[in-house]
Amino acid sequence: MAESRTLTLNMGPQHPSTHGVLRVLLELDGETVVKAKPVIGYLHTGIEKTMESKLYYKALPCTDRMDYLAPMSNNLGYCLAVEKLMDIEVPDKVKWARVCLAELTRVNSHLVWLGTHALDLGAMSMLLYTFRERELILDIYEACGGQRMMTSYIRIGGLAHELPKDFEQKVRNMIKIIRERLFDYEKLLTNNPIFIGRTKGVAVISAEDAMNYCLSGPMLRGSGIKHDLRKDNPYSGYENFDFEVPIGKNGDAYDRYLLRLEEIRQSFRICEQVLDGMPEGPYRAHVPGVVLPPKEDILQKMEAMIFHFKIITEGFKAPVGSVYQAIESPKGEIGFFITGDGTNKPRRVRVRPPAFVNLACLPKLVEGCLFSDVVCAIGSIDIILGEVDR
Amino acid sequence: MEEKIRQFLNSKFSDSIIREDNFRGEQSFYVKPESIFPICEALLENDDLDVKFLKDITAVDWYDHPLAENGRFEVIYNLYSFAHKYRFFLKVFLPEDNPNLTSLTGLWIGANWLEREVYDLFGVTFEGHPDLTKIITPDELEGHPLRKDFPLTYEKPRFSWNKDNPPEVIK
């Protein structure tokens, strides 16, 4: 009788389907995965330490660079946390604009996810289509903040600039185009027997396990648990908007695919409601000494210039205490835990990364499955290694 | 909900609660380090409170700060009640020498990586953890980078390969 042996295979860190530099140590018995161990840390750049060494203002651009597919959500989470720490109330217009931008980010992130996930499973054309559509959103970013990816547009106490004049028209145009094209995507994938064969019943996680692994976002909702921070603990005025939270049933990769497509549609609904009822007002809160005065005032008013200079050079002093602000980013719950210690730099900035926590359940998803399903499982978690390793 | 949790904690763990704090509407309970596991276990078993989510574990280093008199490290457990949509925090202070806690991996598997991260970046050890190894920093790196006495830019990081011949301090 032949002796049975397992084979240890190293997948990554340089592997195209690991979406960055994730390494997975696999123990294989034939084609079946016996054991999987994700190894992370190849992209660790000490972002938290860097943020702790900077003024509150200057730590903001670091947040873009963690999840580079969802820059606006990260900006929003950080700004809301600092605003909570400093007890700042922002104008309604800022809240609404932020909601719209965060939802655009969700669409952007889900489109890239859809393209790369389908590419991993062999449907190459999806990537070209979704990147074409994503370009429309990046154009809106560029019109807002001048940057396509690392926007840093949402600032503490408001926005960096006034929204562009053609913002509404641009967003409506984008929604119209992508909404139609979503049907094309569905034609390509939803009933595609190969796609169904690769995703249905693959990478399954039950509701109980999802809770036990502390998952969040589409990973949790795919298993049928209706938990969305936009509904449960609304922030930035999400309570004003009417939208559904889609949930899955089986907790497999196919459910998560359907769920993310539906989330894109719901995001469009929210964006349209924002555009229909955008309130008028200033684009930045008026809190002297903490929030930068508007650029126009700096050229006209003495106090504004002094405050601007003081904030840029010395920053502001935060009280002693910790706040935690979580928002629903495209990947799940991203939380910013900021501890002030009475100086102008944060004592601690902790980012609760959704992808990091979600990735920990990878062994559960793939153990006992076929080797080729590992690619599908990694894709369906939707990881961004910049955020996992920080 | 806040009142319910307070009652629950006071009825069973009145000796373990050191003090309470409410900052910007966020409720935290400071508890003794040895009681963190029993409290979480009891919370998890209580269906009425429904505290089923462990959202996050993190730590703060109060090195060279007046607050360090309670203990240098503050470890924060971020818990969430699903039914009541309510978030609260359990906090413990740990001494500088040998900071140690009981691992929560027996209650939530998701605590595994979170605890490894706190161990890696702060050097807080967790008893009963199945695999307490470094997770983010390279294996050769010595020290715990998020401690406040870990040099930021002025000194080259000490790796095990340059331990015998340490780099000079750049100031």
Higher pLDDT: B150 or A181? It is A181
Looking up residue A291, the CATH number of its domain turns out to be 1.10.645.10
Q: Out of A321, A323, A360, whose CB is closest to B113?
A: A360
Distance (Å, whole) CA A372 – CA A198? 9
- What total number of domains does chain A contain? 1
* Higher-confidence position of A280 and B14: A280
Best mutation target among B64, B69, B72, B109 (most A Cβ atoms within 10 Å) is B109
What residues in chain A have per-residue pLDDT under 70?
1-3
What's phi and psi for B37, nearest 5 deg? -70, -50
Q: Please report which helix (H) or strand (E) contains residue A248, including its range.
A: none
Percentage of chain B lying above the pLDDT 90 cut: 10
Question: What is the H or E stretch that residue A209 is in?
Answer: helix A207-212
Q: For residue B7, name the pLDDT band (cuts at 50, 70, 90).
A: confident
A28 part of a folded domain: no
User: Which residue, among B71, B70, B76, B74, has the nearest Cα to B27 in the 3D structure?
Assistant: B76
The beta strand positions in B32-118, using DSSP E, are 53-61, 73-81, 86-94, 100-102
On whether any CB of chain A is under 8 Å from the CB of B113, the answer is yes
Is beta strand A154-155 parallel, antiparallel or unpaired with respect to B26-31? Answer: unpaired
A22 occurs within a structural domain:
no
Look at the block and give the residue holding tokens 């406040």. Answer: B148
Q: Which residues of B touch A352 (CB under 8 A)?
A: 55-56, 58, 78
Strand-pair category, A23-29 with A32-39: antiparallel
Residue A27 belongs to some domain of the structure? no
A322 in contact with chain B, both atoms CB, cutoff 8 A: yes
Q: Is residue A32 part of a domain?
A: no
- B150 lies in which domain range? 2-170
Give the B window 80-109 contacts with A, CB below 8 Å. 82, 85, 87, 89, 108-109
- Which domain range does residue A315 map to? 47-389
Confidence grade of residue B77 (pLDDT, cut at 50, 70, 90): very high
- Answer whether A352 sits within 8 Å of B136, measured CB to CB: no
Q: Does the pLDDT of residue B170 top 60, yes or no?
A: no
Is A19 domain-assigned?
Answer: no
Does some domain include residue A322?
Answer: yes
CATH of the domain at B71: 3.30.460.80
What DSSP letter does each residue of A16-60 carry, written as one string? GGGSSS-EEEEEEETTEEEEEEEE--TT---HHHHHHTS-TTTTH
The answer to whether the CB atoms of A215 and B110 lie below 8 A apart is yes
Rounded mean pLDDT of chain A? 88
Please, which residues have CB within 8 angstroms of residue A389's CB and are 6 or more apart in sequence? A40, A41, A42, A43, A44, A45, B136
Chain B partners within 8 Å of A52 (Cβ): 146
Instruction: Give the pLDDT score at B2.
Output: 78
Residue A125: inside a domain? yes
CA nearest to A230 within chain B: B85
CB-CB under 8 Å, A339 with B56: no
Q: Taking phi first (over 0 means left), then psi (-120 to 50 degrees means alpha), and beta for anything else, what does residue A12 get?
A: left
In a domain, A1, yes or no: no
ipTM exceeding cut-off 0.90 for this assembly: no
Q: Is the torsion defined by CA of B69, B70, B73, B78 positive or negative? A: negative
Question: Under an 8 A CB cutoff, do B23 and A48 touch?
Answer: no
Number of domains in chain B: 1
CB contact under 8 A, B109 and A352: no
B153 CB burial (10 A radius; 0-12, 13-18, 19+): exposed
Q: Strand B17-23 relative to strand B26-31: parallel, antiparallel, unpaired?
A: antiparallel
Give the confidence band of B171 by pLDDT, cuts at 50, 70, 90. very low
